[in-house]
């Protein structure tokens, strides 16, 4: 069988790229090792975690917030098995949706392990029966995503010492949960189990949470999480986990050196990041270059050093975000079809789906200072927003960063309820090179949380109305 494009991996980047290529008239096949489409994101990542975040948020609201609004429900009872089943139903529905879309676009799907034999040749060892097929193609797209980054000296068993995968399926609520890593994954999954009753301690090597995000945002968000019951050990590293006893003994010491201490835990979640997944793809034999971090080296058009072989998503440089992979995949498909595909890396939103949510797009203050850019700041707290005040969800703020000379918006950062939804008006504005004045003069419905975005834009010129 000969194809125009074979995509290895059907995560968000892979399946989206395959669909777009098929829409443009290319004959496409996909190869998926897992046995179910959707990759890490859909099966053991962003989709199931959002199901548990949503369910656990409602559980906490019912137990602690309903009474203040005059809703008497008694103490909610947790049926963890049913909650996990709710999560699985969501995964199943989404997996079937991707399968439907691939069939609708006449894309051939091979469930098995793909290996690049040479440019234009992909060997597939099928999951069923182990039969080997060699497929021919004009182009190959590597969209294999990423895997959990290991913690040296600590063995993940997915029972008591877990990765994000195991943390999505714990059979009971741990009394004490130690989360190693204060990034997005650790804080989201830590939030799930804290709401359901765990005592959560987060250990982070750096002296702050959410590395890479705006420092002001990280500082305020840590304060909010601490108020919710999180404990933090910052500037600390985990040197080992003793699993010989009934409880885990987690050894930590200051990152800068100093006296060690031991934390007890029922479960340890290792969430120190992810690494590109390139094992078994035959990249070395095919001559595909990797960088010092094991990522596939590509040019501005996603091409590797080997003609006809391309890569996108977590397996190449850049933020490991599903939507970044999707944008790259669409751009590549359009380029292969003779169109002008493009990704604007300056405007890729990032969201932490805790409560409140954290959302960001564009530059942070730290990045602007490092680049020597003169900028203005407009900031508006949700304590001054009518909708959040009446709903008693006032934690957080909106922050707009604009060029001091041109007023062009360079960054936007939000902590608050539904921040992940609100950030997109800033992204659209920035995509068109808009100014804080443009945002400030755009009428926003009242009463909405999004009015805080308008007020933050007004605050850039120190003319916010409600503060």
Residues marked active site are found at: 446
Note whether 198 and 177 are within 8 A (CB): yes
The DSSP bridge pattern shows strands 176-180 and 199-204 to be parallel
Helix (H) or strand (E) holding 112: strand 108-118
HSE on the CB side for 10, CA within 13 Å?
32
Exposure b/e, 215-247, CB count within 10 A at least 16 = b? ebbbebbbebbeebebebbbebbbeebebeeee
Cα–Cα distances (Å) from 85 to 39, 51, 54, 82, 98, in that order, read 19, 10, 14, 5, 20
Question: Token pair for residue 230?
Answer: 């999180």
Bond preceding residue 356 cis, omega within 30 of 0: yes
Q: Residues of 278-313 as b/e, b for ≥16 C-beta within 10 angstroms?
A: beebbbeebebeeeeeebbebeeebbbebeebbbbb
- 3-state SS, residue 108: strand
For Cα atoms 300, 38, 310, give the angle at the middle one, nearest 5 degrees: 25
d(CA 326, CA 42): 13
């Amino acid at each position: 069988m000969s194809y125009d494009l074979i995509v290895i991996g059907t995560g968000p980047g892979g399946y989206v790229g395959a669909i777009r290529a098929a829409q443009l008239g290319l004959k496409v096949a996909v190869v998926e090792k897992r046995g179910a489409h959707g990759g890490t994101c859909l099966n053991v990542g962003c989709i199931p975690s959002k199901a548990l975040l949503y369910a656990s948020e409602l559980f906490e609201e019912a137990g602690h917030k309903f009474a203040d609004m005059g809703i008497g429900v008694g103490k909610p009872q947790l049926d963890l098995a049913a909650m996990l089943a709710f999560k699985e139903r969501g995964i199943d529905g989404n997996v079937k949706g991707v399968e439907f879309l691939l069939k609708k676009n006449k894309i051939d799907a091979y469930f098995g392990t793909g290996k690049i034999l040479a440019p234009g040749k992909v060997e597939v060892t099928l999951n069923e029966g182990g039969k080997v097929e060699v497929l021919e193609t004009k182009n190959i797209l590597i969209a294999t995503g990423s895997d959990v980054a290991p913690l040296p000296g600590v063995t993940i068993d997915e029972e008591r010492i877990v990765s994000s995968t195991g943390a999505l399926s714990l059979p009971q609520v741990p009394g004490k949960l130690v989360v190693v890593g204060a990034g997005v994954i650790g804080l989201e999954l830590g939030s799930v189990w804290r709401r359901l009753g765990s005592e959560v301690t987060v250990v982070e090597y750096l002296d702050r949470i959410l590395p890479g995000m705006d420092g002001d945002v990280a500082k305020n968000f840590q304060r909010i999480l601490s108020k919710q019951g999180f404990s933090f050990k910052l500037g600390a590293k985990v040197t080992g986990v003793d699993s010989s006893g009934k409880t885990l003994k987690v050894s930590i010491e200051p990152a800068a050196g100093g006296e060690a201490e031991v934390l007890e835990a029922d479960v340890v979640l290792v969430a120190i990041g992810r690494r590109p997944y390139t094992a078994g793809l035959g990249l070395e034999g095919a001559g595909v270059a990797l960088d010092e971090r094991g990522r596939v080296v590509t040019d501005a058009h996603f091409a590797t050093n080997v003609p006809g072989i391309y890569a996108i998503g977590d397996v190449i440089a850049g933020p490991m975000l599903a939507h970044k992979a999707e944008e790259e995949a669409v751009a590549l498909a359009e380029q292969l079809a003779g169109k002008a595909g493009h990704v604007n890396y300056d405007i890729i939103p990032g969201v932490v789906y805790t409560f409140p949510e954290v959302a960001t797009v564009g530059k942070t203050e730290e990045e602007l200072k490092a680049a020597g850019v003169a900028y203005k700041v407009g900031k508006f707290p949700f304590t001054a927003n009518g909708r959040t005040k009446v709903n008693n969800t006032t934690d957080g703020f909106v922050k707009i960063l604009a060029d001091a000379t041109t007023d062009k918006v360079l960054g936007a950062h939000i902590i608050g309820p539904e921040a992940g939804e609100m950030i997109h008006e800033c992204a659209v504005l920035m995509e068109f090179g808009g100014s804080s004045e443009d945002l400030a003069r755009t009428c926003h419905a009242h009463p909405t949380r999004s009015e805080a975005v308008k007020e933050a834009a007004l605050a850039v010129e120190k003319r916010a109305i409600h503060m």
